[in-house]
């Protein structure tokens, strides 16, 4: 009898945890085939922060579950008893430049930059299209990530593998 290996825990970080990190969490959980367990958080979510409704609309339109998605602070994942992360990926340039908490287990880190689809004075239709483009960009990179062979996902090389995907 073979035992199923534990999934690789991946935390996606953004400033408010309302758009890009939420998209990445939902998408990796949808396509990760139980090899990955995704989470998301923000460095400074606003009081009563919720996922952007346009992001949720795009996820639902792509057939991706939005169950359980909610905005939260990254402090949740630095607290005792939190799931231990194997990889932390910042998906916005602001969060990439911030001083992060000390993460239990010293996970690998990478930065995958995506423009904020909710930023600016665009119409809702234009922002919806920006969310679709962002979802597709994240999916392209996550498809590559999910296709990495097991040896590229070992703790010793995980950081290098994830950082190399930033250039794709």
Whether residue 111 contacts residue 89, with contact meaning beta carbons closer than 8 Å, is answered with yes
Using 50, 70 and 90 to split pLDDT, how confident is the model at 88? very high
What domains appear along the chain, each with residue ranges and CATH number? 8-159 (3.40.50.2300)
User: What is the pLDDT averaged over residues 33-52?
Assistant: 90
pTM of the model: 0.91
Among 66-80, 91-105, 110-124, 129-143, the least confident range: 91-105
Q: Compute the average pLDDT of residues 55-63.
A: 97
Confidence of residue 28 (pLDDT cuts 50, 70, 90): very high
Smallest CA-to-CA distance from 129 within 144, 143, 115, 145 is with: 115
pLDDT exceeds cutoff 70 at 99: no
What pLDDT is recorded for position 46? Answer: 81
């Amino acid at each position: 009898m073979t035992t199923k290996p534990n999934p690789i825990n991946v935390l996606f970080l953004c400033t408010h945890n309302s758009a890009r990190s939420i998209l990445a969490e939902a998408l990796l959980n949808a396509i990760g085939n139980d090899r990955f367990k995704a989470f998301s958080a923000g460095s400074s979510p606003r009081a009563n922060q919720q996922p952007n409704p346009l992001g949720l609309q795009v996820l639902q339109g792509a057939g991706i579950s939005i169950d359980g998605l909610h905005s939260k602070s990254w402090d949740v994942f630095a607290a005792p008893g939190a799931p231990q992360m194997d990889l932390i990926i910042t998906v916005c340039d602001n969060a990439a430049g911030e001083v992060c908490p000390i993460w239990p287990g010293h996970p690998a880190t990478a930065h995958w930059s995506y423009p904020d689809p909710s930023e600016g004075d665009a119409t809702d239709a234009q922002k919806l299209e920006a969310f679709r483009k962002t979802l597709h960009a994240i999916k392209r990179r996550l498809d590559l990530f999910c296709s990495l062979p097991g040896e590229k996902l070992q703790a010793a090389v995980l950081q290098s593998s994830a950082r190399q995907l930033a250039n794709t």
